[in-house]
Amino acid sequence: MAAEAGTFLLASPLAGGGVRNRNGPPAAGLGPRSPAADVGRPGAGRRGCGSPRVRVAMAVDITLLFRASVKTVKTRNKALGVAVGGGVDGSRDELFRRSPRPKGDFSSRAREVISHIGKLRDFLLEHRKDYINAYSHIMSEYGKMTDTERDQIDQDAQTFMRTCSEAIQQLRAQAHKEIHSQQVKEHRSAVLDFIEDYLKRVCKLYSEQRAIRVKRVVDKKRLSKLEPEPNTKTKESMFSEKVSQNPSKDSEEKPITEEYPEKIPAEAQPELGSWGDGRGEDELSPEEIQMFEQENQRLIGEMNSLFDEVRQIEGKVVEISRLQEIFTEKVLQQEAEIDSIHQLVVGATENIKEGNEDIREEEGPTKAKVPRPQGPAFFRLWNPRWPADVLRRAGRSHFGVSLAQ
Amino acid sequence: MVGVKMAAAAAASIRERQTVALKRMLNFNVPHVKNSTGEPVWKVLIYDRFGQDIISPLLSVKELRDMGITLHLLLHSDRDPIPDVPAVYFVMPSEENIDRMCQDLRNQLYESYYLNFISAISRSKLEDIANAALAASAVAQVAKVFDQYLNFITLEDDMFVLCNQNKELVSYRAINRPDITDTEMETVMDTIVDSLFCFFVTLGAVPIIRCSRGTAAEMVAVKLDKKLRENLRDARNSLFTGDTLGAGQFSFQRPLLVLVDRNIDLATPLHHTWTYQALVHDVLDFHLNRVNLEESSGVENSPAGARPKRKNKKSYDLTPVDKFWQKHKGSPFPEVAESVQQELESYRAQEDEVKRLKSIMGLEGEDEGAISMLSDNTAKLTSAVSSLPELLEKKRLIDLHTNVATAVLEHIKARKLDVYFEYEEKIMSKTTLDKSLLDIISDPDAGTPEDKMRLFLIYYISAQQAPSEADLEQYKKALTDAGCNLNPLQYIKQWKAFAKMASAPASYGNTTTKSMGLLSRVMNTGSQFVMEGVKNLVLKQQNLPVTRILDNLMEMKSNPETDDYRYFDPKMLRGNDSSVPRNKNPFQEAIVFVVGGGNYIEYQNLVDYIKGKQGKHILYGCSELFNATQFIKQVKCVFHLLLLTYPKLL
């Protein structure tokens, strides 16, 4: 599978044409129940098993010997005239035919979900390079994906993940609804755990590439910020460019971009106003130049400190989100645990109630007949379901005597 | 490419090799590749008790899960049909197992079947399965059939035992029974040889075999040589061609197999020991790397100790992942106790750090300012949260070792094992005793009757001259008074007489003194904490007989003790019966295999010995792993049988 992943990465620049219609694959894959989508990947879940065999020194494959034994036995049976059910005729077919039994509903649906997750994975891997490359719209030769397209991918992937996890939930609910043996139940919940884990791994793939994208955009911004010219005009043009980008950004980077449009107009307006005044061709007096320069310095300083602050906040936000993720997971785990504790408590309460009732039932008649000094402790020795006469006999012969003494 | 792979494989330990083999089997016999975004595959694992014993020391349940195993079930248990899952079988090709598998096929329990046999299946049994598959028209569902050649249990990187399930079959008792018939002996030998053969297939090397003459070890050597030879001659189906030839080209060296008979050294298995792993095995229930403890909750210093004492069973796995165990299993016990204490302190420091963070965060105190503090400490919090699982795991290990060490310590204190250890060391090194043996034996506070018997037996074995009849009678009386069964002593007496008559004994008494010359340095400064009242004994490395034999053979040293050892080279075309080794170079790799049972004392001694040798490796194996109690039990039993056969012995 590692090789498979690798080829997707390599293949994506070549398959440039296909990548452009970025909405195609996820749209097709969005309905986890579309049967047509499955045709492309038959038996995707088992591909791992069929890869070329490596000759190993330790284990010896005697499958062929087994097949040969089957044939030997068959001929022998034929010679002896023993009728063996099923496989006597059509030996060749029989050897290679798959099991005629229909696959269970559960496993086929599980595989369906897996193949959908697999599609998401393939899709993500296919577009990984374009998605990550934040410069693509500047350098025209890589111009394959715009930010709107990336946002589309984000959105689709998220919807898709949600659908998949819903499908798993559904499957889980269903798997336990039908009455099965303990082993089957255990098996199914393990299978579902596997699928969930798989989905998690694929989601991680997505969040990783999304993190890279965000980081690249931030880096790019920093680079443009570092440009040496303190010219407000170029700065402004840069900001405007960023502002145009702004709607495509997601929440995590918004703090940065929103900071600027507010501050810039407020602080830069008077300056611009002076430029725009009628005496444009006049030389500025040295004092004025000095003043402007000072103001520029001040502005730059302010911007820098703001920027640093924003970056710090950004880092914190990332950390907090990571923590939140961990906490969510823990809380969910605890929820399950609390549920099971609750169940146990309810069960225990029921048991105690029943026990008390049983004791009360027994207490009545026995006490009336043979009064005992240590009633309740005594009754705890007995199984209340014993027939009454056994109880009475036992009580008189063993316990009764000893307790009476 | 192949070269690199093989070089890496040559360096791998037997433990890794068997684990890799198991993982490949669980992965439908396709090499297992770890992949972060691979699609999940699931299957059920069906094993018998043999398979369970092989897998359980190597793979945890979690690792099985990671391999896609949803359920792992015993073959002979009630199993519900799960029609949509492939099943991996890992079983011995025994009659009843085959029957049960055929039944599974008939009942259509699973979707497909991957049959793996622990050791090679015979043609006729394979046909039985074929027959059942035909009858159930399930031939196509039998996806793969494999001989795994994994019939041995690896306990450590460099230690293995043959089997656990039918260990009575290859026990010391079984081999030394006086009433054993030739066919029975054949079966015993075949079982041992089959496992050893599997071991070498998994190791991927053909050894050069050395063994002493006239012992059970020699029988094993002859049979193993024959089996390896037959397999090598059949070039087409040989298990040692291809990959392994490549390995030979790179290492140029074949391993040396030293087959040793238990009867050459009966003192070591009786010895009281002082290293952690060996002590755990000696005094606790330690079995296939799992120790079972019966602990009363009152022992701990926790508030729970206030509750009435209640026995509860606990079992702990002592695995190679456990760093502490890995580091200290060969350390003398006082050192272990000290390290546990240190670990505990460092853990407490870490825990305090986390707690401090919690109070800084204002989570315990007032709410005000918590938010602003929060932003300053997010980084710290993140690191704390991410280090928590690690910390918890550390706590678990510390708790484990605290419990185990406490249990061991209780035994040491109750039975005065430190005194026994010190005395036995002195006896073996012929140092004068400051208290007579009789005093200890008749001291009611010191140890169990069995401890007393062990002490006396060691004295008796290592004495150059047997004590006079009068002395012996006195000892016997003291032992009987202490509640000992004298059977083991009688057996050892017979054994000693026999050893004198046999071919190699001339040097025995002599070498015993040397070998047992474990000098003990007694540091009477008791450690401050848990070890109060227990002597802080430190071991001085001296080689045990087994180690000495290995040293002679591996380094090609001439020694009267080992010069007449037989030499087998299964790769030589014609078997030669000489004891003259063709190869005069020292060996780099050796396997010591004790026929008739081994113990952790010898293992530890070998490990310590090889530590000083650069680039050399030793593997220790035994037909059965027993502690002194189990050994004495077997000795009693053998003597009992001996009496039945030769009543006039007494």
Q: Using the beta-carbon criterion (under 8 Å), do B378 and A320 form an inter-chain contact?
A: yes
Contacts 24+ apart (CB under 8 A), B81-84: B81/B107, B81/B108, B81/B109, B81/B110, B82/A183, B82/A184, B82/A187, B82/B44, B82/B109, B82/B110, B83/A101, B83/A104, B83/B108, B83/B109, B83/B110, B83/B111, B84/A103, B84/A104, B84/A106, B84/A107, B84/A108, B84/B111
Distance from CA of B621 to the nearest CA of A (A): 19
**For residue B127, which residues of chain A lie inside 8 Å, CB to CB?**
69, 72-73
**B557 within 8 A of B551, measured Cβ to Cβ:** yes
| Residue B370 contacts A, CB cutoff 8 Å | no
Which regions of A125-246 does DSSP assign to beta strands (E)?
A: none
pLDDT band at B507 (very low <50, low <70, confident <90, very high): very low
pLDDT band at A94 (very low <50, low <70, confident <90, very high): very low
pLDDT value at residue B647:
74
* Torsion of Cα atoms, B83 then B85 then B86 then B92, to 10°: -70
| Residue B126 contacts A, CB cutoff 8 Å | yes
For chain B, what is the mean pLDDT? 79
pLDDT value at residue B428:
74
pLDDT value at residue B114:
93
Interface with B, mutate which of A66, A77, A92 (most B CBs under 10 A): A66
pLDDT value at residue A6:
34
- H/E stretch holding A284 reads none
Distance from CA of A386 to the nearest CA of B (A): 30
**For residue A57, which residues of chain B lie inside 8 Å, CB to CB?**
201, 204, 239-240, 242-244
**Cα B21 to Cα B279: distance, rounded to the nearest angstrom:** 32
Q: Using the beta-carbon criterion (under 8 Å), do A183 and B79 form an inter-chain contact?
A: yes
Candidates A222, A16, A216, A44; CA nearest to A121 is: A44
Q: Using the beta-carbon criterion (under 8 Å), do B35 and A62 form an inter-chain contact?
A: no
For residue A357, pLDDT over 90 is answered with yes
ipTM score of the complex?
Answer: 0.73
B589-595 and B256-261 strand pairing:
parallel
> pLDDT tens across A323-355, in order?
888 888 889 889 989 999 999 999 999 999 999
Give the number of A-B residue pairs with CB atoms closer than 8 Å.
200
| Residue B123 contacts A, CB cutoff 8 Å | yes
**For residue B202, which residues of chain A lie inside 8 Å, CB to CB?**
58
Q: Using the beta-carbon criterion (under 8 Å), do B33 and A1 form an inter-chain contact?
A: yes
The dihedral through the CA atoms of B176, B177, B179, B183 has a sign that is negative
Identify which of A62, A84, A320 has the shortest CB distance to residue B135.
Answer: A84
Interface with A, mutate which of B22, B39, B381 (most A CBs under 10 A): B39
Highest mean pLDDT among B112-126, B315-329, B436-450, B512-526: B112-126
**For residue A183, which residues of chain B lie inside 8 Å, CB to CB?**
71, 73, 79-80, 82
pLDDT value at residue B140:
87
Identify which of B29, B35, B242 has the shortest CB distance to residue A59.
Answer: B29
pLDDT value at residue B432:
66
In chain B, the percentage of residues whose pLDDT exceeds 90 is 15
Q: Which two tokens stand for residue B313?
A: 């069973």
pLDDT band at A269 (very low <50, low <70, confident <90, very high): very low
pLDDT value at residue A250:
45
In chain B, the percentage of residues whose pLDDT exceeds 70 is 79
For residue A96, pLDDT over 70 is answered with no
pLDDT value at residue B2:
39
pLDDT value at residue A351:
94
pLDDT value at residue A381:
43
Q: What is the mean pLDDT of residues A164-171?
A: 87
| Residue B111 contacts A, CB cutoff 8 Å | yes
Highest mean pLDDT among A83-92, A144-153, B241-250: A144-153
**For residue A203, which residues of chain B lie inside 8 Å, CB to CB?**
none
**B632 within 8 A of B450, measured Cβ to Cβ:** yes
- H/E stretch holding B38 reads none
Identify which of B140, B239, B378 has the shortest CB distance to residue A57.
Answer: B239
**For residue A322, which residues of chain B lie inside 8 Å, CB to CB?**
382
Task: List the domains of chain A with CATH numbers.
Answer: 102-207 (1.10.132)
pLDDT value at residue A365:
64
Task: Convert B3-12 to b/e letters by CB count within 10 Å (16 or more is b).
Answer: eeebeebbee
Q: What is the mean pLDDT of residues A81-105?
A: 49
Q: What is the mean pLDDT of residues B314-326?
A: 86
Comparing alpha-carbon positions, the chain B residue that sits nearest to A320 is B378
pLDDT band at B89 (very low <50, low <70, confident <90, very high): very high
Q: What are the φ and ψ backbone dihedral angles of B90, each rounded to 5 degrees?
A: -140, 95
> pLDDT tens across B546-561, in order?
888 888 888 888 877 7
Q: Using the beta-carbon criterion (under 8 Å), do A57 and B135 form an inter-chain contact?
A: no
**For residue A323, which residues of chain B lie inside 8 Å, CB to CB?**
378, 381-382, 385
- For the sheet with B159-161, list strands across it: B153-156, B159-161, B617-622, B589-595, B256-261, B208-211, B566-568
Q: What is the mean pLDDT of residues A218-230?
A: 66
Q: What is the mean pLDDT of residues A270-287?
A: 58
Q: Using the beta-carbon criterion (under 8 Å), do A53 and B41 form an inter-chain contact?
A: no
pLDDT value at residue B92:
93
**For residue A96, which residues of chain B lie inside 8 Å, CB to CB?**
140
> pLDDT tens across B410-427, in order?
888 888 888 888 888 778
pLDDT value at residue A164:
87
Q: What is the mean pLDDT of residues B334-359?
A: 85
- In the stretch 179-238 of chain B, residues with CB closer than 8 A to chain A read 201-202, 204, 237
A107 or B37: whose pLDDT is higher? A107
**A210 within 8 A of A157, measured Cβ to Cβ:** no
**Cα A350 to Cα A74: distance, rounded to the nearest angstrom:** 60
Prediction pTM value: 0.72
pLDDT band at B508 (very low <50, low <70, confident <90, very high): very low
Find the DSSP H helices in B108-181.
123-135, 172-176
Identify which of A70, A74, A323 has the shortest CB distance to residue B385.
Answer: A323
Distance from CA of B473 to the nearest CA of A (A): 52
pLDDT value at residue B592:
93
- For the sheet with A60-61, list strands across it: A60-61, B142-147, B112-117, B86-91, B43-47, B69-74
Distance from CA of A281 to the nearest CA of B (A): 51
pLDDT value at residue B611:
86
A247 or A160: whose pLDDT is higher? A160
**B209 within 8 A of B225, measured Cβ to Cβ:** yes
Q: Using the beta-carbon criterion (under 8 Å), do A106 and B79 form an inter-chain contact?
A: no
Q: Using the beta-carbon criterion (under 8 Å), do A70 and B134 form an inter-chain contact?
A: yes
Instruction: End-to-end CA distance of chain A: give it in Å, rounded.
Output: 79
Q: Which two tokens stand for residue B495?
A: 């054994």
**Cα A336 to Cα A20: distance, rounded to the nearest angstrom:** 44
Candidates B40, B83, B102; CA nearest to A181 is: B83
